[in-house]
Amino acid sequence: MARYDAPGPLARAGNALIRRLAEHGISIAGSTALRVRGRRTGKLHSVVVNLLTVDSTRYVVAPRGETEWVRNARVAGVVEVGPRWGRRAAKVREIADDAKPTLLKRYIDRWYWEVKGHMADLTPDSSPEQLRAAAPHIPVFALVESR
C-alpha cells in the first residue's frame, strides 16, 4: 500500500503561505513553487517543494509520500519550477529506489527541521539500512530542464 501522510489544516495553511511566497520569488530555506497539470482535470496545480541540488542535478523529494502532485507528475512527465516570472519547464525522471538513500540522507540533513515526522520515520541519524528500507515509500524525481 502506498504511503501518504496527509497534512492537517495548520500544515495546509502554512504550505499555502510558503507557496505564495515562492511563487513571488521569496524562498524560505530552499523552497520553490512547482506546478503540474492534473491528471484528471488538466488544470495546473501549484505546490511548494524543497529543491535539492546534487552535482548540478536538481531533485524534488515528496516527504509525505504518494501525494497528488507526485501522481500528477508521473502522468504529466513534466512540471514547471520557479516563481511566476521565471518558471521553467522540466521533465521529471523518477529515481529508482536503490539510488535514493544518498539523496534522502542529503535531504534530511538539510530539511529535517521542516519535514520531521513526514519522512517515513527517518532522521539525520538513520542508518544506511533504514534509508534503503524507506526509499520505496518516498518518491524522488530528477528535474531535467526542457529547452
10-24, 39-53, 126-140: range with highest mean pLDDT: 126-140
The CA distance from 80 to 25, in Å, is 14
The range of the structural domain enclosing residue 45 comes to 10-145
Report if pTM > 0.85.
yes
What's the pLDDT score for residue 4?
Answer: 73
3-class secondary structure, 124:
coil
Predicted local distance difference test score (pLDDT) of residue 21: 73
The answer to whether residues 59 and 93 touch, using CB atoms and an 8 Å cutoff, is no
Residue 91 falls within a domain, yes or no?
Answer: yes
Domains contained in the chain, number: 1
Say what percent of the chain tops pLDDT 70.
Answer: 98
Does residue 1 form part of some domain? Answer: no
Residue 2 is assigned to a structural domain of this protein: no
Q: Is residue 97 part of a domain?
A: yes
Residue 141 has what pLDDT? 98
CB atoms within 10 A of CB 137: 20
CATH label of the domain that carries residue 122? 2.30.110.10
**Pick the residue with more confidence: 84 or 106?**
106
